[in-house]
Amino acid sequence: MIDWLYNLGANEKSIGSTLRAKFNAGDIAGGCDELSRWVNGRVKGQLVALPGLVDRRGTAEELCLHWGAL
């Protein structure tokens, strides 16, 4: 979550996100699952899934879910 917040920034969307709410409620698995929803960026004014973010969030989600098992 630290990497996600650092890269996204503390703003209205991140502060009010379901991801943050789940982590704060102690739902670690639910918070980790939310990471895969944060893959969009603007390209020529259109919001699209960015392949680099899809890969990055997938890796972050895997680490998040299995952190203690590694």
Q: What is the DSSP string of 22-57?
A: HHHTT-HHHHHHHGGG--EEEETTEEEE-HHHHHHH
Domain ranges, ordered by start, for the chain: 2-69
Distance CA 32, CA 65 (A): 6
Percent of the chain clearing pLDDT 90 (strictly above): 69
Question: Given this model, what pLDDT does residue 41 score?
Answer: 92
Distance CA 57, CA 33 (A): 10
Mean of all residue pLDDT scores within the chain: 90
CATH code of the region 2-69: 1.10.530.40
Q: Is the pLDDT of residue 69 over 70?
A: no
58, 36 Cβ separation under 8 angstroms? yes
What are the pLDDT digits (tens) for 35-62?
999 999 999 999 999 999 999 999 999 9
The number of residues in the chain equals 70
pTM metric for this prediction: 0.80
